[in-house]
């Protein structure tokens, strides 16, 4: 809309013509519309535009601009109608198709707008790449919760279409975040490539167009083109896999599962069949297996400060460290864990010493209009534990509870979105309690997801206890749990049925994926041995194909046979997807070869990452070893911040065993060397040292504080006092 436009430049209407031969007359009148738009006067801008349209009815820039202004006002249906009439007359202007697709999608959603979206992807990529990139990104956001595989492909499409460097960087970061999301089952993450199909005679064009449509993001069309070829190749597993992938990327989950099961039936090798079955199981699990709702009960209180005081007196409520939280009119003032029983003293590692967390409790102030009221929410999987939590908390707060007004209940519904009200009250009436179902969780994994509250316990004992709990879950729950995906049989029963071997192996991947989400690592090799299943077959790859492997395929690589360059590629991807056991295996192989061959990371970065991965697997000694090595690397340099960070990291690890003989020397260095320069270190350390009953440097048993320049020597009582050099 700017004045002084070069008449030989491409016309901004997107026609592909020069301004001089397209909308030059209308553009000369658009300055007023531009000024009104910049002054945030959208209706006046539309009125001015309508007058220009009457004067220049043939100028494409007028309806194009009108649609854009309407979309800015969220009048998406009007914008779509405008562009629908426009493309009837100007079918050759790709920008019109792009705006029609965007407006219709924003009005009715992906599935209803799909014909316009796919048309735009085919004809508008050259004229309107930025509009289509934004459209693909919006579709990805829309599909993320229900279908992360479809969301990822649309994000990749948005990245391919984006032209602006900053936009490309932002989209790349979103893609990496999605690939690394711990809440998405790892077999569904990262890349899944279409199989190469040799076209049979008469179907060369269908195969070529199928791949082309896939590149353009028209996966429904691509899937149909691949499906045409099944008339000639009905038993081609790769063809059915491609159909399944195209359908899932198009958000046709049911159709994808059907095609992937065909791929399983005709797969050329066992592991390919298992991978297709694994994806199919994960896609349909929510629709097939039994679930239990996760519910939130909300209680309105007169005062959040009084509620906090009352909850502090409930023995089974354990207050969590407070951090400032405020979003969308909600200010959280306290969080608690409601425990199965009040925690016992330190000591034994028996199960009863570590109560199950039966509910999470939040206390917050909620702004509704000009008023603010306090709310206590209790959330957990529906069942006796949650019921007990609600009952005890209601009893503790009984004198502070007040009823919700009808508009407050409705506000909470609006804030929560499409969740079901789980109570039998009329939401237009007053109520003392407001229940909703926020999601559902699979019954099969409820025991795996159950968390316990730990008192002080050294890392080795805690890991041994967690390992025992995981083994108990497998032996007492999962192996004996009837699964619909196994025809109603338990994994133990299915192990005796050879016809269920592929489904059983896929179920093991499903178990591993859900355990990974629950941050409970399961050794699938142990599970396979328990069920009498041979180890996975290794996969071979070269420099050209190694980056195109799926996550499950990469897990079958013979790591010891890879070159250093190949191993570096595998490590980068493993760190992104962060399947902890596989990442540990990759980094272990690199460490065996020597860090002088390390590629893609500095030695310090490798040490920190390997330390974290080792710690997540419960290998505390190895985590400490890499922390010490990382600190030694930092000490070689001049980065004071890095030295502090490594020392604090080692301190946190050594605190897992307060009797660690290296701890006093480390505490002394942190307190007297780093603490002198950064007093906040002492502020952090002092309560921690008191919590672990460790002596504070410079303080005697009687509480006498010695001069800061003197500390007791390593020899203990009677040792010479050490004075730091000036």
* Residue 407 confidence (pLDDT): 60
pLDDT the model gives residue 633: 94
Give the model's pLDDT for residue 398: 92
Inform me whether the pLDDT recorded for 292 exceeds 60: yes
Report the alpha-carbon distance of residue 70 to residue 626 in Å, rounded.
58
Please give the average per-residue pLDDT across 420-431, as a whole number.
Answer: 49
Predicted model pTM? 0.86
Residue with the bigger pLDDT between 690 and 707: it is: 690
* pLDDT at residue 279 tops 90: yes
User: What are residue 373's DSSP bridge partners?
Assistant: 366
Q: Is 300 exposed, middle or buried (0-12, 13-18, 19+ CB in 10 A)?
A: buried
pLDDT tens digit string along 542-560? 888 888 899 999 999 999 9
Residue 338 clears pLDDT 50, i.e. is over it: yes
The two three-digit tokens of residue 635, written as one number = 């000490």
Average pLDDT over every residue of 610-627: 92
Q: What pLDDT shows up at residue 258?
A: 98
Q: Which CATH superfamily is domain 19-182 in?
A: Tetratricopeptide repeat domain (1.25.40.10)
**What's the pLDDT tens digit per position in 19-55?**
889 988 888 888 888 888 888 888 899 999 999 988 8
| Residue among 293, 223, 213 nearest 251 (CA) | 223
- 330 pLDDT band, cuts 50/70/90, is confident
Other C-beta atoms closer than 10 Å to the C-beta of 342 total 12
Give φ, ψ of 499 to 5 degrees: -70, -15
Is the pLDDT higher at 77 or at 326? 77
Q: What is the mean pLDDT of the chain?
A: 88
Residue 711: which pLDDT band, with cuts at 50, 70 and 90?
very low
Residue in the block written with tokens 């159709």: 255
Domain ranges in the chain?
19-182, 204-286, 291-449, 459-519, 546-691
pLDDT at residue 701, rounded to an integer: 44
Confidence category of residue 240, pLDDT binned at 50, 70, 90: very high
Q: Where are the alpha helices (DSSP H) in 162-218?
A: 165-179, 204-215
- What is the DSSP secondary structure assignment for residue 15, as one 8-state letter? S
**204-286: which CATH number, 1.10.443.10, 1.25.40.10, 3.40.50.150, 3.10.450.200?**
1.25.40.10
Number of Cβ within a 10 Å radius of residue 450? 17
> Which has more confidence, 331 or 344?
331
Identical fold at 19-182 and 546-691?
yes
pLDDT band of 345, cuts 50, 70, 90: low
Domain 546-691, CATH: 1.25.40
Least confident of 169-173, 417-421, 695-699: 417-421
User: What is the pLDDT, as a whole number, of residue 428?
Assistant: 45
Average pLDDT in the 113-134 region?
Answer: 95
Q: When comparing pLDDT for 430 and 530, which is higher? A: 530
Spatial distance between the Cα atoms of 342 and 425, rounded to a whole number of angstroms: 33
The mean pLDDT value for 654-683 works out to 91
Question: For 15-19, 329-333, 348-352, 566-570, which range has the lowest pLDDT when averaged over its residues?
Answer: 348-352
- Given this model, what pLDDT does residue 496 score? 96
Residue 381 parent element (H or E): strand 371-381
Q: Which fold has domain 291-449?
A: TATA-Binding Protein (3.30.310)
How large is the average pLDDT for residues 356-367? 91
Confidence (pLDDT) at 123: 94
Q: How would you class 721 by CB atoms within 10 Å of its CB: exposed for 0-12, middle for 13-18, buried for 19 or more?
A: exposed
Low-confidence winner among 354-363, 422-431, 609-618 (lowest mean pLDDT): 422-431
Mean of pLDDT values over 110-115: 97
Report pLDDT for 544.
81
For residue 424, what pLDDT band results from cuts at 50, 70 and 90?
very low
Distance, CA of 41 to CA of 45 (rounded, Å): 6
pLDDT value, residue 598? 83
CA–CA dist 621, 287 (Å, integer): 43
Q: What is the mean pLDDT of residues 650-671?
A: 91
Which helix (H) or strand (E) covers residue 360, if one does?
Answer: strand 357-368
- Other CB atoms within 10 Å distance of the CB of residue 381: 20
- In which band, very low, low, confident or very high, does the pLDDT at 326 lie, cut at 50, 70 and 90? low
Instruction: Calculate mean pLDDT across residues 380-398.
Output: 94
């Amino acid at each position: 809309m700017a004045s002084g436009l070069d008449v030989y430049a491409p016309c901004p209407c997107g026609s592909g013509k020069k301004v001089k031969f397209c909308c030059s007359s209308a553009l000369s009148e658009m300055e007023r519309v531009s000024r009104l738009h910049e002054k945030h006067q959208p209706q006046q801008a539309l009125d001015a535009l309508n007058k220009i349209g009457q004067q220049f009815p043939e100028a494409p820039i007028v309806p194009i601009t009108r649609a854009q202004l309407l979309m800015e006002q969220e009048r998406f249906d009007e914008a779509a109608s405008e562009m629908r009439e426009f493309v009837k007359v100007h079918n050759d202007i790709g920008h019109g198709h792009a705006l029609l697709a965007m407006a219709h999608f924003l009005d009715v959603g992906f599935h209803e707008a799909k014909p316009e979206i796919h048309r735009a992807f085919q004809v508008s990529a050259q004229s309107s790449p930025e509009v289509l990139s934004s459209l693909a990104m919006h579709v990805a956001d829309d599909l993320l919760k229900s279908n992360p595989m479809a969301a990822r492909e649309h994000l990749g499409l948005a990245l391919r279409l984006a032209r602006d460097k900053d936009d490309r960087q932002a989209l790349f970061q979103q893609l990496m975040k999605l690939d690394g999301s711990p809440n998405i089952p790892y077999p569904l993450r990262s890349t899944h490539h279409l199989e190469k199909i040799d076209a049979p005679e008469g179907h060369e064009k269908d195969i070529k167009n199928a791949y082309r449509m896939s590149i353009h993001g028209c996966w429904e069309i691509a899937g149909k083109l691949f499906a045409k070829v099944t008339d000639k190749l009905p038993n081609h597993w790769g063809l059915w896999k491609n159909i399944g992938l195209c359908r899932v990327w198009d958000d046709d989950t049911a159709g994808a599962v059907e095609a992937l099961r065909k791929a399983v039936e005709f797969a050329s090798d066992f592991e390919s069949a298992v991978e297709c079955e694994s994806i199919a199981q994960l896609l349909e699990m929510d629709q097939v297996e039994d679930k239990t709702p996760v519910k939130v009960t909300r209680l309105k209180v007169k005062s959040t400060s009084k509620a906090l005081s009352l909850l502090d007196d409930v023995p089974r409520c354990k207050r969590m460290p407070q951090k400032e939280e405020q979003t969308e009119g909600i200010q959280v003032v306290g969080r608690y864990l409601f425990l199965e029983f009040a925690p016992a003293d330190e000591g034994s590692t028996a199960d009863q010493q570590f109560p199950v967390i039966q509910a999470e409790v939040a206390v917050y102030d909620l702004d509704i209009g000009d008023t603010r009221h306090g709310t206590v929410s209790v959330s957990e999987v529906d069942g006796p534990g949650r019921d007990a939590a609600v009952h005890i908390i209601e009893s503790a707060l009984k004198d502070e509870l007040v009823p919700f007004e009808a508009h407050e209940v409705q506000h909470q519904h609006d804030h929560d979105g499409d969740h079901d009200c789980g109570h039998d009250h009329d939401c237009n009436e007053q109520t003392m309690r407001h229940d909703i179902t926020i999601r559902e969780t699979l019954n099969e994994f409820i025991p795996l997801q159950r968390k316990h509250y730990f008192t002080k316990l050294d890392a080795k004992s805690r890991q041994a206890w967690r390992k025992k709990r995981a083994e108990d879950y497998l032996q007492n729950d999962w192996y004996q749990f009837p699964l619909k995906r196994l025809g109603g049989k338990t994994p133990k029963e299915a192990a005796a049925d050879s016809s269920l071997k592929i489904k059983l192996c896929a179920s093991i991947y499903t178990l591993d994926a859900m355990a990974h989400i629950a941050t409970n690592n399961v050794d699938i090799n142990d599970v396979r041995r328990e069920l009498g299943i041979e180890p996975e077959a290794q996969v071979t790859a070269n420099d050209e194909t190694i980056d195109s492997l799926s996550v499950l395929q990469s897990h079958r690589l013979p790591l010891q046979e890879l070159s250093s360059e190949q191993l570096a590629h595998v490590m980068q991807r493993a760190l992104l997807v962060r399947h902890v056991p596989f990442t540990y295996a990759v980094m272990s192989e690199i460490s065996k070869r020597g860090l002088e061959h390390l590629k893609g990371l500095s030695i310090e970065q490798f040490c920190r990452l390997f330390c974290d991965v080792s710690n997540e697997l419960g290998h505390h000694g190895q985590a400490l070893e890499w922390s010490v090595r990382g600190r030694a690397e930092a000490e070689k340099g001049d980065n004071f911040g890095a030295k502090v960070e490594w020392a604090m990291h080692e301190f946190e690890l050594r605190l897992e065993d307060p009797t660690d003989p290296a701890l006093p020397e480390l505490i002394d260095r942190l307190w007297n060397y780093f603490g002198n320069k950064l007093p906040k270190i002492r502020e952090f350390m002092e309560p921690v040292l008191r919590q672990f009953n460790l002596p504070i440097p410079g303080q005697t048993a009687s509480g006498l504080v010695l001069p800061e320049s003197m500390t007791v020597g390593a020899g203990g009582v009677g040792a010479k006092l050490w004075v730091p050099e000036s």
